[in-house]
Each structure stands twice: as structure tokens, then as C-alpha cells.
Structure 1
Amino acid sequence: MAFRNDEDKVAYWKENLSLLTKLLVVWFAVSFGAGILFADALNAIQFFGFKLGFWFAQQGAIYVFVALIFIYMAKMNALDKKYGVNED
């Protein structure tokens, strides 16, 4: 379970950090953006009988966070296989 060479190690961590950055941007946009910054604008939209800004602040963000966990797991498993460091 070791990297084949140093270039693979650097490329692996570069892709890993890129993925983390993208997921953290989504996390920030949903939690801070939809839940706080844009809550008033989103509250003009109804979602299952609730104001959308309120729904994101109370429940929607949690669903997105759980989805991000599964996305990270799937992407990292694919990345591990790509570089031959998977845990088979």
C-alpha cells in the first residue's frame, strides 16, 4: 500500500486537497450562504410548506453535509484505486 514513486505521492495529495477545497466551498456556501447570508431572499420561496432559508438553516444543511461525506468517500476510494493505495 505504498506509492509507486514521489510524483504519484505529490499528485495524490494535490488531487486530495483539490477535492477537499471544493467540498469545503460547498459546505460553506450551504451553511453560511443559504443559512445566514441569503436566508431572507430564500425565505421568499416555499419548500414543503416552509420558507426555504429557514429549511436550509434547520434541515437542508444537514442533508447536504451527509451527502458531502458520501461524495468524499466515493471520490477518495476512486483516488486511492487510481494511485494504487486502496485498502483491499
Structure 2
Amino acid sequence: MNEKQKLASAYWKENLRYLIILLSIWFLVSYGAGIFFKDFLDQFRLGGFKLGFWFAQQGSIYVFVILIFVYVRLMNKLDKKYGFNE
């Protein structure tokens, strides 16, 4: 395996690690907060709505959008680290 292939392999492994972490966060927020922990979260209110309901309806969407920006930032750093930036 040449140096270029090693770099590409390391880049891809780190990219997959970021994806797994970020998608796990999204899963925990969307399913965890909206379904699994709904009863516990419904004790609290946000904007007049029960917190479990809010996460199921809007919170997971907000978190997903934030995770997109986090992913872009992480990928820009990763591109610079491995020399794939423009």
C-alpha cells in the first residue's frame, strides 16, 4: 500500500468515526428524547409544550441542522489535516 492509499484509508476511517458519533447523537435525540425518555422529559416544559413532545416535533430537527454544521466544520478540519482542502 503506497502513502497516498494509507492517507486515504486513514481519512476515510476518521470520517466514518465522525459519522457514527454524529448519527448516534441524532438517534439519541430523535428516538431517545422523543420516544424512549418521553415520559421523563414530559415533566419539563419548553415554550408551553411538554419537553418530550417538543423534542419529537421540533427538537430533533434543530439538532439535526446543528449536526450538519458540526459535520461541515469537522470535515473542513479533516480535509486540512490530510491535505485534501482546496
Q: TM-score, normalising length from structure 2?
A: 0.91
Question: Structure 2: which amino acid aligns with 1:85?
Answer: F
Larger helix proportion of the pair: 2
Q: Which has the higher contact order (CA 8 A, sep 6+)?
A: 1
Deviation per residue, 1:31-87 (Å, 9 max, x gap): 11011111111001112221100110111111000001100111001101111111x
> Which residue of structure 2 lines up, in the alignment, with residue 40 of structure 1?
39
> Which residue of structure 1 lines up, in the alignment, with residue 69 of structure 2?
70
Q: How do 1:1-88 and structure 2 match up within 5 A?
A: 5-86=4-85, 88=86
SS in 1 for 2:43: coil
Question: Structure 1: which amino acid aligns with 2:7?
Answer: D
Question: Structure 2: which amino acid aligns with 1:81?
Answer: K
SS in 2 for 1:5: helix
Percent same amino acid at aligned positions? 61
Runs of 4+ in 1 over 2 A off after TM superposition: none
